[in-house]
Structure 1
Amino acid sequence: MIKYILAALLTLSCAITASAQEDWKLSTQKDGIKVYTRSVPNSKLKALKVDCNFNATLTQMTAILTDVKNRGEWVYHTKSFKFLKQASPTDIYYYSEVAMPWPLQNRDFIAQLVTSQNNTTKVVTIDGPLGENIIPVKEGVVRITDSKSKWLIIPIDKDEVKVEYVLQVDPGGTIPAWLVNMFASEGPIQSFKALKLQLKKPEYKDKQLAFVKDY
């Protein structure tokens, strides 16, 4: 177990170093869920990092995070999720609309989920870049054109993983500071709490994925 943890930490360290200096600051902590923020050059909005341990296997957690048809059940303030296409077992495209409080316009985006696993550390990485605009922009909805996200699923033990999520997004338009703060602090906590409940669903218990090897 120790060698996997050390190798995973080394992978994370290299990734952080390669992406320049990151000064993450703890913003919120609740129910084992930690939310960090950091400033982004040339942006008024901050990047988010969330981490939490889950009682799950690598396969179970990967299956849930890549199950876009059911993402609306746990992702904060989701109005709709729509599966678009699957280029390969590890490359999925989906559409999502984010519900915003009145009088603000909803936001939507098209994204990919690209999954890979390190053969040595067993760490699963799920990149979430924006995809092509294969769905027309809706009237009254602002299309997000600047967003980067990444999930890391790190094995701790046979039935325990550490999940780290990083998001940097520009929602476009004008959004009041109170709303930005709400999404930055409350959003990750609510999503990760709902994710824990999602893990209890029977369809994920014995899930098998050909592209993921468990601890």
Structure 2
Amino acid sequence: MAVTTSLKVGEVKIPEDADFRLFKSMCEENDGWKLEVNKAQTMVWTKANELSDFKMVKVRCVFDDIDIATMYDVLHDPQYRKTWDRTMLEGAEICAINPNNDIGYYAIRSPPPLKNRDFVTQRSWLDCGYEKIIFNHSVNHSARPPRKGVIRGTSYLTGYYLVKLEDRKTQLTYVSQSDPKGNLPAWAVNKLTKMFAPKVIGRIYKAAKGYEAWKSKNRPEFKPWANPEQMMSSLPKFNPADVASDEKLAASNESLEEGELEEADFKDEDY
């Protein structure tokens, strides 16, 4: 069954309370999800959906020595991400919509035989103290048109849900409902998802352990995701004329051949 929200691919819209509640329920409820991995306080589920042949993925992990505020900052901070995200080719904030919404660009390095992917998304967030949500969905912005040789993926609804369990004990849940496009067979993407998702969580945890020391030397006062005046003064303002429709977004996708793919092509150490 598809997850539906008021947020549509290609449309810039400020999320409603119901959208945040729906994303929270996706993170908390496990009905219809298949448990794929359960080890070392990390659980991975998958779920079929009606939007594409690619399964939704959900990863939940409990960190016994990371406070929720630090984890939230790590997930937000674009400068710090450049230091730890080994899959990122390029990341950039394009514009600010309001103090809790922006539009950004993210390009992902894929190991052979896969083509690189990129995404343009509206990112939205909500900080309730003991729980925090960050999620995104794909839009199309004139500042970042499709690039030759890179496949433009689609995020229907992807993000993080953080819950404070104790002072330095945080539960992180990641949910992705997306489509990498191209001519990848569904089995390949679903296999990669199960391999890759737990590794991403591990890298986020390692990044969180080093964040406070890094931030103390890199503009410690600058956290635009938490300070509205910084958010609205540090980025260009959103112009609706720069965002194309869903139809144009779909038409702009370049179909690139990735050759014949076999399971043997996907080696765990590459991810």
TM over 0.5, shorter chain: yes
Q: Name 1:52's counterpart in structure 2.
A: 61
CA contact (8 A) 1:152 1:164 kept: yes
Q: Name 1:132's counterpart in structure 2.
A: 140
SS of corresponding position for 1:102: coil
Aligned-residue identity in percent? 23
CA contact (8 A) 1:36 1:49 kept: yes
Q: Hey, what's the Cα distance between the residues in 2 that align with 1:38 and 1:204?
A: 37
1:170 aligns with one of 179, 196, 206: 179
5+ residue gaps, structure 2: 1-20, 229-271
The amino acid of 1:79's aligned partner reads L
CA offsets per residue over residues 13-43 of structure 1, 9 Å max, x none? Answer: 98249x9x94111112343221110111253
Q: Hey, what's the Cα distance between the residues in 2 that align with 1:28 and 1:86?
A: 37
SS of corresponding position for 1:199: helix
Q: Hey, what's the Cα distance between the residues in 1 that align with 2:179 and 2:87?
A: 16
2:128 aligned with 1:102: no
1:79 aligns with one of 83, 86, 89: 89
5+ residue gaps, structure 1: 1-10
Q: Displacement of 1:179 after TM fit?
A: 3.3
2:160 aligns with one of 133, 151, 157: 151
Q: Hey, what's the Cα distance between the residues in 1 that align with 2:69 and 2:96?
A: 19
CA offsets per residue over residues 157-215 of structure 1, 9 Å max, x none? Answer: 1111111111011111211456314421121111111111111211358887458xxxx
What is the aligned residue count?
197
Q: Name 2:14's counterpart in structure 1.
A: none
CA contact (8 A) 1:16 1:22 kept: no
Q: 1:187 to 1:43 in 2, by over 3 A?
A: same
When normalised by structure 2's length, the TM-score is 0.63
SS of corresponding position for 2:54: coil
Bigger strand fraction: 1
Q: Name 2:214's counterpart in structure 1.
A: 203
Q: Hey, what's the Cα distance between the residues in 2 that align with 1:182 and 1:47?
A: 12
What is the RMSD computed on CA atoms of the aligned residues? 3.0
